[in-house]
Structures are given as structure tokens and as C-alpha cells.
Amino acid sequence: MKLVRWGALGQERPGMVDRMGHVRDLSSHCTEIGPDMLAPERLARLAAIDPQTLPLAGSDCRLGVPLTGIGNLIGIGLNYRDHAAETGLALPAEPVVFSKHTGALSGPFDDLNIPPGTAKLDWEVEVAAVIGRPAWQVDEEQALSHVAGYMTANDVSARDWQMERGGQWIKGKSGPGFCPLGPWLVTADEVPDPRSLRLTTRVNARTKQDGTSADMVFPMAFLVSYLSRFMRLAPGDVILTGTPKGVGLGRGEFLMAGDLLEVEVGGLGRQCVRAR
């Protein structure tokens, strides 16, 4: 099942994608796609709905962030072997954990306004895992049962703010538009193996990143279990799980106004964002 939020910014409504790829209006069944809708029993009720019985949302509708009420955006750094190699850094012995401010959230096709003061705005295609059930001290074998679904994410990063201004990474990770999510929230039953997803980035139609989640240093189940040792993960928390090689930092290339940025995760959908 693919869940969306559609409509003008600040006026999004819940939706579902039918088998033809059309957005259908879910407003008659729920008021929002938020943390309370991620419980297994709530998702099961939505999955029982035939999308063809729902009204069409319109072919030109804007898609927003697929989930509202996101409490925490947790990032994992250096979690792909080839990405660590391109940065010249050793593989971490334990996951590198950082946060992004929720003010960075944006829709999958919204413009990315380059903020003043950065000249090194970078892309990072990632698989985002969405927590559906509270997770505290969970075993790795049970960890994925706490995941409601997955989304395509772009961990946009101002590298100069992140690496040249001291302090923690969150400063370079949190500008407005620095975390496009979507286009859909794909429920976990449609992603039987999160270790075999292809991740790609194109800038102005030129491929920059092309990898698979099989290259993760710490796979999805390990990450959920690991994080739950230190914090109580709550429904609606989102974990960005790392990026493959090909980021601008490794190439000495950064986004400029007018660039068209496309990121995609196989089965989770494609984003298309214009830098302004």
C-alpha cells in the first residue's frame, strides 16, 4: 500500500495510490496520515479498502510529505562502504548518529531554495524507515516488526555548515527543504527485503549516485535495534539510513540555482526538486 498526503502546502489531505498510479482521496476514511495511523491494526483497515472505490484526487495535485506529525528525524552517517571510501574515512565501528531538524521537511517535488551563506549544498539519496510501533530495547530479530513502512529521502546537506563551522552535523542538515520525503509512504509488506533496494541520484539528467542498500555497513534491522538501545523510538519517527557513493562532497560538485535534482529508491518512488 502506498499512502500520500496531497494538496496545497498546509492543506494536505490523506490519499492512497491505486494500481494505475493515480492518487485517490482517503478523506472519508481518515483525517490525516499521522503517527496514530501507523499502528498495524490501523494500516490493516486502510489496506482493506479498494482504491478504485475512492474519488480521484486529480492528476495535477501537489504531493506533500507523506506523513505528518513526524517527531524525530534521525540520520545515520557513513553507512555505505563505498561512500565512506569516497570521503576517505574509515568504516565506523558503531553507527554514526545525528539529527535533522523537522523544519527541514518538504514535499518530493517542492523547490529547494538555496539559503544564503552556503556554497556547498549537497545531495544524499537515502532509504527512510518509518517507525510504526514504539521500540525500546528491541532485539534485531524483532526490529523490523516495529517499522510501518519506507520512503525515499534526500538528506540535503550544506557541507560548509556541516564540516567547517564546528559543533554538530545538525547545523548543516536542517535548513528549510533539506529533507524532501516521498512521494509515498510504502508499507513494509511491500518491501520484503530492505537490503536490496537500488538508490540513484541524477543532477540535470546526469547520474551521480547509483548503489544498493546491500552495501550498508549496518543494515536496517540492526539500526532500529541499535537506536532503541539509547532512545525510545515512537510512531512517526523517521530514520534516514545512509547514502551510497557519488555525493557532491566526493566529486567537488555542489548544487547551483537552476539545477534539477532527481533522487529515487526502487519501489519507493522518485523525487524531482529544482534548486532555486
Contacts of 15 (CB under 8 A, 6+ apart): 3, 4, 5, 6, 23, 24, 25, 26, 57
Mark whether 32 and 154 lie in a shared domain. Answer: no
Q: What is the pLDDT of residues 205-240, one digit of tens each?
A: 999 999 999 999 999 999 999 999 999 999 999 999
Residue that the C-alpha cell 506529525 belongs to: 69
68 falls within a domain: no
In the beta sheet, which residues pair with residue 14? 5
Give residues with Cβ within 8 angstroms of 259, minimum separation 6. Answer: 203, 204, 274, 275
How far apart are the C-alpha atoms of 241 and 264, rounded to whole Å? Answer: 14
Residues 24 and 160 in one domain: no
Beta-carbon contacts of 48 under 8 Å, excluding residues fewer than 6 positions away, are: none
Which residue's C-alpha cell is 562502504? 81
Question: How far is C-alpha 205 from the chain's CA centre?
Answer: 21
Pairwise CA distance, residues 109 & 261, whole Å:
10
Q: Rounded CA gap, 16 and 55, in Å? A: 10
| Structural domain includes residue 66 | no
Q: Are 25 and 97 contained in the same domain?
A: no
CATH number at residue 191: 3.90.850.10
**61 occurs within a structural domain:** no
Indicate whether 37 belongs to any domain: yes
Q: pLDDT, tens digit, for every residue of 182-200?
A: 999 999 999 999 999 999 9
What would the pLDDT profile of 80-130 be if each residue is shown by its tens digit?
998 888 878 788 999 999 999 999 999 999 999 999 999 999 999 999 999
Q: Which three cell numbers stand for residue 131?
A: 517507525
DSSP H helices in 21-179: 40-47, 81-87, 140-143, 159-163, 170-173
Number of domains comprising the chain: 2
Q: CA-CA distance, 232 to 71, in Å (whole number)?
A: 12
> What's the sign of the alpha-carbon dihedral 222, 227, 233, 235?
negative
Q: Establish if 58 belongs to a structural domain.
A: no
Distance CA 159, CA 251 (A): 13
Residue owning grid cell 532509504: 127
Assess if residue 10 is contained within a domain.
Answer: yes
Could you tell me if 208 and 250 lie in one domain? yes
Calculate mean pLDDT across residues 12-28. Answer: 96
Say if residue 156 is in the same domain as residue 200: yes
Tens digits of per-residue pLDDT, 107-116?
999 999 999 9
Residue 59: pLDDT over 80 = no
pLDDT at 17: 97
Same domain for 79 and 11, yes or no, is no
What spatial distance separates the first Cα and last Cα of the chain, rounded to whole Å?
33
Q: Which three cell numbers stand for residue 137?
A: 530495547
Extract the C-alpha cell encoding 126. Answer: 537515502
> Does residue 10 share a domain with residue 112?
no
Backbone angles phi and psi of 94, in degrees to 5? -135, 160
Could you tell me if residue 251 is inside a domain?
A: yes
Residues 43-79 as b/e (b if ≥16 CB within 10 A, e otherwise) read beebeebebeebeebeeebbbbbbbbebebbbbbbbb
Q: How many C-beta atoms surround the C-beta of residue 24 within 10 A?
A: 20
* Residue of 163, 152, 151 whose CA lies nearest to 248: 163
Q: Which three cell numbers stand for residue 206?
A: 546526469
Domain around 201: 73-274
Q: What is the pLDDT of residue 169?
A: 94
Q: What percent of the chain has pLDDT over 90?
A: 93
pLDDT tens-digit readout, 231-242: 999 999 999 999
pLDDT at position 21 is 93
